[in-house]
């Protein structure tokens, strides 16, 4: 999860680095902690840090973590040469480490050598069967080749063992959504909601999956989860506000409405008012467009 | 900040004085061969004052309060972390390589 304060901190550090006087170690640490994918920046500043002998010697043993981070960033930016140097340095330092073996496998993946990568992961898994990250890499291999149903199968097997891994549940939900298997995706989001009931974005995801499935019952539930997203995000999440409006519109077109729903369109009009206010504050030139869209939804 | 620290130090001093006067009071009771019932009102007053001062310092010195509500402006979740464990490398980034050269110096 990345909160507002975290996001501001990352942006501040990035700006400082751009102007040339930022703390690279702090930035890299924060990116690691928040699990952000800012590969280009990590690569650029990380390599500069590793090229600077005096800064490097100050890091002590942390330098190997940074080698690993830079290697992954280099793979993500398709800079295989830098990645190779990092992996080689790590292999010399830790020849028997499972973590470095995983990195080597990722390097194979980046080159498209799926079988070799898979072989590396398999051989390490035999020694350390409960290394969750290696299992996840095997899912990623299928995903990278576009074999989504195999990826889903592997991931389900993984989740049988590591049920509390909510990132894996989120990944499974994403895979199901891209295969248009919305009911299964909804199940994954239910698991996520149980794991982190305070996370507004999981409420939003669940609501969106239910809205996509459609049907009166699902729309009603979706509206409730959109509403809870609004509550948890302090009314700042525009997607949830639009969602409430759209659910209200879809429900008003069905005939199976309860009397309460017919009379009570308060939530919808309140959400519409907030959307309009946000647009007037932040993008005044689009406010007219938004108000006409919202007006159409009412009628 | 400095004023708060001084208030805390003053609170501790008052507390120490209260301790000292209680010990002296008990000493004098022993001399007069009377039972100890409770501390004198002056000591109780000192305790209250020191409690107040120490509270003030403890709440003010470590810094301001952080929001704990989920929907507070600072705590709001803006984005989920990118799931790096499942990251794949054959994406469009291959076609749009970063616009800078990086090189390791051996």
* Domain limits, chain B: 2-60
Rounded distance between C-alpha atoms, residue B36 and residue B20, angstroms: 16
The per-residue pLDDT for A293 is 87
How far is it, in rounded angstroms, from Cα A71 to Cα B98? 15
Would you give the end-to-end CA distance of chain B in angstroms? 50
Closest in B71, B94, B98 to A233, CB measured: B71
Inspect the interface and report whether the beta carbons of B102 and A201 lie closer than 8 Å: no
| Cβ-defined contact of A3 to B78 (cutoff 8 Å) | yes
> A105 with A144: CB under 8 angstroms?
no
In whole numbers, what is the pLDDT of chain B averaged over residues? 86
Q: Kindly report the nearest CA distance between residue B45 and chain A, in angstroms.
A: 44
Joined tokens for residue A131: 């290394």
The CA distance from A250 to A241, in Å, is 14
Instruction: From A13, A18, A16, A43, select the one nearest B97 (Cα to Cα).
Output: A43
Work out the average pLDDT over B53-82. Answer: 85
Rounded to whole angstroms, the Cα distance separating A144 from A69 reads 20
With CB atoms and an 8 Å threshold, state whether A231 touches B76: no
Nearest by CB to residue A77, choosing from B80, B84, B93, is B93
Chain B interface disruption, residue of A55, A63, A140, A192, most B CBs within 10 A: A140
Residue A263: predicted pLDDT: 63
CA closest to B82 among chain A residues = A36
Long-range Cβ contacts of A228-235 (<8 Å, 24+ apart): A228/A200, A228/A203, A229/A200, A229/A201, A229/A203, A229/A204, A230/A271, A231/B71, A232/A198, A232/A199, A232/A200, A232/A203, A232/B70, A232/B71, A233/A200, A233/B71, A233/B76, A233/B77, A234/B71, A234/B72, A234/B73, A234/B76, A235/A274
Q: Nearest CB to B81: which of A34, A48, A78?
A: A34
The shortest CB-CB distance from A136 to any of B75, B85, B105 is to: B85
Nearest alpha carbon to residue A81 among A90, A93, A91, A71: A71
Residue A95 has which token pair? 């020849």
Q: Indicate the pLDDT class of residue B91, thresholds 50, 70 and 90.
A: confident
Instruction: Count how many pairs of residues, chain A against chain B, have C-beta atoms within 8 Å.
Output: 119
pLDDT at position A204, please?
95
- Subunit contact B76:A143, Cβ cutoff 8 A: no
- What parts of chain A have a pLDDT lower than 70? 256-264, 299
Which residue is closest to B72 within chain A, CA to CA?
A: A234
B67 pLDDT more than 90: no
Query: Does B64 contact chain A (CB < 8 Å)?
Result: no
Residue B106 has pLDDT above 60, yes or no: no
Using 50, 70 and 90 to split pLDDT, how confident is the model at B63? confident
Q: How many residues does this entry show for chain B?
A: 106
Q: How confident is the model at residue B10 (pLDDT cuts 50, 70, 90)?
A: very high
């Amino acid at each position: 999860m990345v909160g507002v304060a975290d996001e501001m901190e990352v942006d501040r550090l990035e700006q400082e680095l751009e102007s040339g006087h930022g703390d690279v170690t702090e930035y890299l640490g924060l990116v690691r902690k928040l699990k952000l994918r800012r590969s280009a920046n990590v690569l650029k500043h990380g390599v500069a840090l590793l090229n600077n002998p005096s800064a490097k010697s100050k890091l002590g043993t942390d330098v190997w973590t940074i080698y690993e981070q830079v290697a992954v960033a280099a793979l993500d930016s398709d800079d295989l040469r830098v990645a190779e140097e990092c992996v080689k340095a790590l292999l010399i330092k830790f020849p028997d480490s499972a973590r470095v073996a995983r990195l080597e496998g990722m390097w194979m993946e980046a080159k498209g050598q799926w079988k070799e990568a898979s072989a590396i992961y398999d051989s390490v898994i035999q020694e350390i069967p409960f290394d969750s990250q290696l299992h996840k890499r095997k899912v990623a291999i299928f995903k990278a080749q576009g074999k989504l149903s195999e990826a889903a199968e592997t991931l389900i097997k993984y989740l049988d063992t590591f049920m509390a891994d909510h990132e894996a549940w989120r990944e499974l939900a994403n895979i199901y959504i891209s295969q248009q298997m919305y009911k299964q995706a909804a199940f994954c989001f239910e698991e996520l909601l149980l794991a982190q009931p305070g996370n507004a974005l999981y409420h939003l995801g669940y609501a969106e999956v239910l809205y996509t499935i459609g049907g009166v019952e699902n729309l009603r539930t979706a509206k409730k989860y959109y509403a809870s997203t609004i509550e948890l995000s302090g009314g700042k999440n525009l997607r949830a506000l639009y969602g409430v409006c759209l659910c209200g519109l879809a429900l008003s077109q069905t005939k199976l409405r309860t009397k309460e729903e017919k009379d009570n369109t308060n939530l919808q009009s309140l959400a519409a008012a907030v959307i309009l206010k946000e647009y007037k504050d932040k993008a005044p030139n689009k406010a007219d467009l938004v108000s006409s869209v919202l007006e159409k939804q009412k009628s | 900040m400095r004023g708060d620290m001084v208030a805390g130090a003053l609170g501790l001093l008052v507390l120490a004085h209260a301790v000292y006067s209680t010990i002296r009071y008990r000493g004098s009771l022993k001399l007069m061969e009377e039972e100890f019932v409770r501390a004198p009102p002056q000591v109780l007053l000192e305790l209250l004052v020191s409690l107040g001062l120490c509270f003030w310092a403890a709440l003010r010195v470590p810094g301001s309060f952080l929001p704990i509500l989920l929907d507070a402006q600072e705590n709001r979740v803006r984005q989920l972390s990118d799931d790096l464990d499942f990251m794949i490398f054959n994406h469009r980034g291959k076609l749009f390589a970063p616009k800078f050269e990086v090189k390791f110096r051996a």
